[in-house]
Chain A
């Protein structure tokens, strides 16, 4: 039979496919009707505003903003932790004299993840994912994941002293969180030593 002489109906989808489609898409369609924001509502990926993170890190106390200058020595150690040049030349942080809070950024697979860390006595007291921009791997923001960082300290070689269980399919985001946690601990230790 020569090409294009067939008696098919081009573009027709079988009835069973349409039935399957309806069955599968009906729930999300309902979901769309409820969940879609209006055009003015942009995607909101900030799970916790940085200012809110700092506010809850120092409840009832006054924290000072300070700067850690990324001197050549600190720069070299930060490169060891991150595996690349740090984006910042000075690092702002907040401290009340006992603990310090750090807001850091690191690229996961394609986009930067913004995370906040509170460090006290050389260990992480709190870790939070503040802004997540990747389309996959957002599970790292859940308490079950970030809670694992609590109590973590720096071990030899500027590594964490405890194992952090990852999220399947979010390897690069998990790795970015690990690097940032080490960076926060190192910065806090360096700032405290001055």
Chain B
């Protein structure tokens, strides 16, 4: 390693290459001095042999017999593969002003997320995402601190990669790609919040890769939902996901997804997730078993199909998602027994949306794109016999607004959301988001 670096430095000094630019002698000396300083600093930092195994990360020596030589394999920059440990992140600050329900108007540091990654070698890496929601996390505040991803990823080749740990389930468009500059609207869309419980992650092991150019598969076995946890019919099965926090793992789930991205601007795909949720009646280690759920499968299956397409300045996007729960009558009875009132757990739920955006003005990094989105969903499409659905959960939403990017990774957003069934949710939203 050091030999490479020294060779690079020496050959750089010795190289009598023809340079096209003609800096002054002082500038050349300064540039060489800067380069030597950078190499020294780099050598001092290189303490992990594994990170050096990628030969492309080394400054291969320039050939001393230039300028007449034609080809060397020397990569261009001093450090090619980037640092072994990386930090990234995203975040958003939102303002919601309700038209008919002023007390709900609020401003919120909705998410502050940091990514930490580490590349052990060419094949093995660690990926993580640490999220703080709502600004403050304490016993008396609504904020939460969450690990949204923490997994190891081993790459065999393009077709076979294996990951193990806590990772995002590949359903829908938003769940795996949820950084604010990547979607339209201040708030995440309702269908991928209430039907697909974004940001949805489970612990387990998965296999993924490309089976044909642009065609990616995902398969795996993970933890699943727990139908013994308190349900909120307005958000479908969302409250049942366990977020890998002492998750009950009596019942596990499986997932599969297929997505095609082989044509620029196009994404077509779908995914399915299925598993029992009864967890034999246990919600945690100390709460007594819920006898109604003992031995009950309560199989939950969620699936979706989705597509995105960009045609010139026009962007179109659509998604359909559906969920079904077995033993919904037993689960409803169990939920009702705990809540002390009737809780009508959905036997089935569904939602879909269509969205169009148009880039009306682009100048340099600036990009202004108005959009409109129509969503229809019912988080209690069917319920068990003897239970009745809340009509407010059969909803249609029109969201109209714009995203204004001041940089490809920094966005200002504004929109208005009109709810057909429950107009107390009608609101004007403002937001700022970033990713890096």
Complex-state Cα separation, A67 to B11, whole angstroms: 13
Main secondary structure of the interface of B (DSSP, over half): loop
Q: Chain A residues with Cβ under 8 A from B263's Cβ?
A: 144
Q: Nearest chain-B residue to A74 (Cβ)?
A: B21
Is the CB–CB distance between B155 and A135 below 8 Å?
yes
Task: Say how far B74's CB is from chain A's closest CB, in angstroms.
Answer: 7
Partner of B77, one of A14, A105, A168: A105
Q: Which of B56-105 contact A (CB under 8 A)?
A: 56, 62-63, 66-82, 86, 88
Task: Say how far A174's CB is from chain B's closest CB, in angstroms.
Answer: 9
Complex-state Cα separation, A21 to B89, whole angstroms: 34
Task: Say how far B177's CB is from chain A's closest CB, in angstroms.
Answer: 5
Q: Chain B residues with Cβ under 8 A from A110's Cβ?
A: 82, 86, 88, 115, 117, 119, 125, 127
Q: Chain A residues with Cβ under 8 A from B211's Cβ?
A: 31
Is the CB–CB distance between A16 and B297 below 8 Å?
yes
Task: Say how far B404's CB is from chain A's closest CB, in angstroms.
Answer: 17
Complex-state Cα separation, A73 to B75, whole angstroms: 23
Is the CB–CB distance between A103 and B72 below 8 Å?
no
Q: Chain A residues with Cβ under 8 A from B252's Cβ?
A: 13, 17
Is the CB–CB distance between B21 and A190 below 8 Å?
yes
Complex-state Cα separation, A72 to B362, whole angstroms: 30
B245 within 8 A of A: no
Task: Say how far A76's CB is from chain B's closest CB, in angstroms.
Answer: 13
Is the CB–CB distance between A32 and B160 below 8 Å?
yes
Is the CB–CB distance between B75 and A65 below 8 Å?
no
| Known A-B contacts A43-B122, A135-B161, A171-B182; A194 and B72 likewise in contact (beta carbons under 8 Å) | no
Task: Say how far A63's CB is from chain B's closest CB, in angstroms.
Answer: 5
Partner of B80, one of A55, A105, A171: A105
Partner of B56, one of A2, A14, A131, A148: A131
Is the CB–CB distance between B77 and A104 below 8 Å?
yes
Count, A-B residue pairs, CB within 8 A: 263
| Known A-B contacts A65-B63, A65-B70, A138-B210; A112 and B159 likewise in contact (beta carbons under 8 Å) | no
Number of interface residues of A (CB under 8 A): 92
Is the CB–CB distance between B73 and A49 below 8 Å?
yes
Q: Chain B residues with Cβ under 8 A from A102's Cβ?
A: 76
Task: Say how far A168's CB is from chain B's closest CB, in angstroms.
Answer: 4
Task: Say how far B36's CB is from chain A's closest CB, in angstroms.
Answer: 10
Is the CB–CB distance between A89 and B38 below 8 Å?
yes
Q: Which of A1-59 contact B (CB under 8 A)?
A: 1-3, 6, 8, 10-14, 16-17, 20-21, 24-25, 27-28, 31-32, 35-37, 42-46, 49-51, 54-55, 58
Complex-state Cα separation, A69 to B34, whole angstroms: 12
Is the CB–CB distance between B157 and A37 below 8 Å?
yes
Task: Say how far B113's CB is from chain A's closest CB, in angstroms.
Answer: 13
Is the CB–CB distance between A24 and B256 below 8 Å?
yes
Partner of B289, one of A6, A45, A65, A145: A6
Is the CB–CB distance between A64 and B78 below 8 Å?
no
Partner of A89, one of B78, B157, B276, B362: B78
Task: Say how far A91's CB is from chain B's closest CB, in angstroms.
Answer: 6
One of B213-221, B350-358, B370-378 contacting the partner: B213-221
Is the CB–CB distance between A28 and B177 below 8 Å?
no
Complex-state Cα separation, A159 to B364, whole angstroms: 6
Q: Nearest chain-A residue to B73 (Cβ)?
A: A51
Is the CB–CB distance between B288 and A66 below 8 Å?
no
B2 within 8 A of A: no
Cross-chain pairs A/B with CB under 8 angstroms, 10 sampled: A3-B285, A6-B294, A17-B276, A32-B207, A35-B159, A92-B72, A94-B70, A165-B264, A171-B179, A171-B435
Binding site for A on B (CB under 8 A): 12, 15, 17-23, 27-28, 31-32, 34-35, 38, 54, 56, 62-63, 66-82, 86, 88, 115, 117, 119, 121-123, 125, 127, 153, 155-161, 173, 176-177, 179, 181-182, 207, 210-211, 213-214, 217, 219, 221, 249-254, 256, 261-267, 274-276, 280-282, 285-289, 291, 294-295, 297, 299, 308, 310, 312-313, 362, 364, 407-409, 435
Binding site for B on A (CB under 8 A): 1-3, 6, 8, 10-14, 16-17, 20-21, 24-25, 27-28, 31-32, 35-37, 42-46, 49-51, 54-55, 58, 62-72, 74, 83, 86-92, 94, 102-105, 107, 109-112, 114, 131, 133, 135, 138-139, 142, 144-145, 148, 157, 159, 163-172, 175, 178, 190-192, 194
Known: A94-B71, A105-B80, A109-B115. 6 other contacts (CB 8 A): A14-B251, A32-B160, A110-B117, A164-B264, A165-B264, A168-B261
